[in-house]
């Protein structure tokens, strides 16, 4: 490469007897090299047809099942070996190699095998693949449905729309990865039934859908038998987490109002996902996970309002409790405000003066009875093994906090949003969280959260902040 050296640089070099002369240059040649091998992606359809299922009654109904050994998994004390390591900062066993401590799983030098190793693995990854497929469709759906003028009216430019397009392209990679780890019976693309939404509502729906997609994987990731599969899934779900944050920013919400993200059981994610799948191809792989009845939050906080907690019945009525903008006046719509603390146009971050929810808030609930047909081809059925509802379970960050149901009347009640923190200075109930109705206040933690499943009456998403 030939470069030009200015007289000033040359004079400085001579004056200070430099051995190297700084060079200011412009690139003139780009060297490229074709990839030796590129893995092909799974075939995808950009935008499938949308709408409710109108086909014949399903020939198979309910979740996939086999012989059931017990009504629930009993609770046991901790395994003793987990309490024995001294954790004193010293090494207690010979090192298998230099700079390598003893222990760890999958660290013995054997070649990794990136395939599922158990029924638990298969059903979990298949669920994640169903999620990736709907996200691919949903992101393309938004670009195809809403005109450029509507995006620009809420502050989203061509660059933001390209980000949405790129997120759809990410889903192609995720779907390919999971399909390859599952094999030939991996679930394929379906058709989907979204609620009737304007663009603002679509963004809210998308940030909630990506929440249960992200949290549903965090919940099972460290329970997988195939740790190699878990490694690759971790690298894809880390991208998913960023998608959820992007949609919060598109919505004008504070992007990450928590110290810890939520991990939830597979049946919770499937409960929220399945109602938006209209139909799937014949012989589509079915799932084992439970579909719980829907929980409606009658005063679900509405992020489109300046005072988002002062609401009544402002959702689209779907499982995700998507916000409804229909009855918001011009002066109450936060996108119309120019005041700091009130405006909620798309931004890197906003900090609201009026919180969407707060400790001590009355939250009014209503839930379905089991037995509703949901999911692909209406072939899954909502169910519960719980007794009479008694508690609301608030699932956020590292906490599950119960508050008693009050004024229970049939399938409705109210509860009080509790005041609880994960650590001092970190309010536990914040962000996009999960709210359940249960028949008991079973103590559970993030690693054994699925223990509460037999006692869940209904569940939903709560827009706490």
Q: Are 125 and 174 in contact (CB under 8 A)?
A: no
pLDDT given for residue 28 in this prediction: 52
Nearest C-alpha neighbor of 125 from the set 186, 40, 64, 206: 186
Ranking 23-27, 85-89, 297-301, 363-367 by mean pLDDT, the lowest is 23-27
pLDDT given for residue 56 in this prediction: 87
Q: What is the SS3 assignment for 103? A: coil
pLDDT given for residue 34 in this prediction: 64
- Would the pLDDT of 17 be above 90? no
Q: What is the SS3 assignment for 329? A: coil
Q: What does the pLDDT look like over 178-190, one tens digit per residue?
A: 999 999 999 999 9
Q: How many residues does the chain have?
A: 465
If you average pLDDT over every residue of the chain, what do you get?
90
Nearest C-alpha neighbor of 207 from the set 245, 239, 234: 245
Please compute the mean of the pLDDT values over residues 131-141 and round it to a whole number: 97
Output the six-digit token pair for 371. 């037995």
| pLDDT range class, residue 171, cuts 50, 70, 90 | very high
Whole-number Å distance between alpha carbons of 411 and 406: 12
Q: What Cα–Cα distance (Å) separates residue 445 from each residue in 184, 396, 462? A: 36, 11, 19
Dihedral class, residue 407 (left if φ above 0, else alpha if ψ from -120 to 50, else beta): left
Q: What does the pLDDT look like over 223-278, one tens digit per residue?
A: 999 999 999 999 999 999 999 999 999 999 999 999 999 999 999 999 999 999 99
H or E element, residue 407: strand 406-409
Q: What does the pLDDT look like over 267-309, one tens digit per residue?
A: 999 999 999 999 999 889 999 999 999 999 999 999 999 999 9
Better pLDDT: 29 or 365: 365
Q: What is the SS3 assignment for 462? A: strand
Residue 386: how many other CB atoms lie within 10 Å? 22
Whole-number Å distance between alpha carbons of 388 and 396: 24
Percent of the chain with pLDDT over 90: 72
- Would the pLDDT of 5 be above 80? no
Q: What is the SS3 assignment for 445? A: coil
Whole-number Å distance between alpha carbons of 166 and 168: 5
pLDDT given for residue 32 in this prediction: 54
pLDDT given for residue 33 in this prediction: 59
Nearest C-alpha neighbor of 307 from the set 259, 352, 243, 248: 352
Better pLDDT: 29 or 119: 119
pLDDT given for residue 39 in this prediction: 83
Q: Are 216 and 307 in contact (CB under 8 A)?
A: no
Tell me which DSSP letter residue 454 carries.
Answer: G
Please compute the mean of the pLDDT values over residues 423-439 and round it to a whole number: 95
| pLDDT range class, residue 8, cuts 50, 70, 90 | very low
pLDDT given for residue 10 in this prediction: 36
Q: What does the pLDDT look like over 298-353, one tens digit per residue?
A: 999 999 999 999 999 999 999 999 999 999 999 999 988 899 998 988 889 998 88
């Amino acid at each position: 490469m030939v470069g030009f050296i200015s007289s000033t640089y040359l004079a400085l070099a001579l004056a200070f007897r430099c051995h190297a002369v700084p060079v200011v240059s412009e690139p003139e040649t780009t060297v490229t090299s074709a990839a030796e091998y590129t893995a092909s992606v799974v075939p995808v359809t950009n935008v499938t047809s949308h709408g409710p299922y109108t086909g014949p009654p399903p020939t198979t109904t309910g979740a996939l099942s086999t012989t059931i050994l017990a009504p629930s998994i009993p609770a046991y004390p901790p395994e003793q070996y987990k309490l024995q390591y001294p954790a004193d900062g010293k090494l207690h066993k010979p090192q298998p190699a230099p700079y390598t401590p003893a222990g760890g799983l999958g660290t013995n030098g054997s070649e990794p095998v990136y395939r599922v190793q158990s029924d638990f693995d298969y059903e979990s990854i298949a669920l994640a693949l169903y999620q990736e497929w709907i996200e691919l469709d949903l992101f393309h759906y938004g670009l195809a449905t809403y005109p450029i003028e509507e995006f620009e009216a809420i502050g989203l430019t061509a660059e933001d729309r390209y980000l949405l397009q790129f997120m759809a392209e990410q889903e192609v990679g995720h779907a390919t990865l999971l399909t390859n780890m599952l094999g030939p019976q991996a679930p394929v693309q379906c058709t989907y039934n979204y609620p009737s939404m304007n663009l603002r509502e679509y963004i809210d729906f998308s940030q909630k859908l990506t929440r249960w997609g992200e949290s549903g994987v965090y919940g099972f990731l460290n329970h997988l038998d195939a740790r190699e599969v878990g490694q690759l899934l971790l690298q894809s779900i880390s991208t998913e987490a960023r998608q959820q944050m992007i949609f919060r920013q598109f919505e004008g919400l504070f992007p990450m109002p928590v110290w810890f993200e939520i991990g939830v059981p597979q049946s919770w994610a499937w409960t929220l996902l399945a109602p938006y799948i209209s139909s799937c191809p014949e012989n589509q792989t079915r799932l084992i996970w439970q579909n719980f009845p829907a929980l409606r939050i009658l005063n679900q906080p509405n992020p489109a309002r300046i005072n988002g907690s002062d609401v009544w019945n402002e959702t689209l009525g779907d499982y995700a409790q998507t916000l409804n903008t229909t009855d918001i006046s011009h002066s109450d719509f936060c996108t119309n405000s120019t005041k700091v603390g009130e405006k909620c146009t798309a931004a890197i971050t906003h900090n609201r003066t009026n919180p969407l929810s707060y400790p001590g808030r009355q939250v009014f609930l209503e839930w379905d009875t089991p037995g509703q047909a949901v999911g692909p081809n209406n072939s899954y059925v909502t169910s519960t093994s719980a007794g009479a509802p008694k508690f609301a379970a608030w699932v956020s960050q590292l906490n599950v906090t119960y508050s008693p149901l009050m004024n229970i009347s049939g399938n409705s009640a109210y509860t009080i949003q509790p005041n609880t923190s994960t650590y001092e200075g970190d309010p536990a109930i914040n962000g996009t969280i999960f709210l359940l109705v249960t028949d008991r206040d079973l103590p559970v933690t993030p690693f054994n959260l699925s223990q509460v499943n037999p006692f869940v009456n209904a569940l939903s998403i709560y827009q706490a902040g």
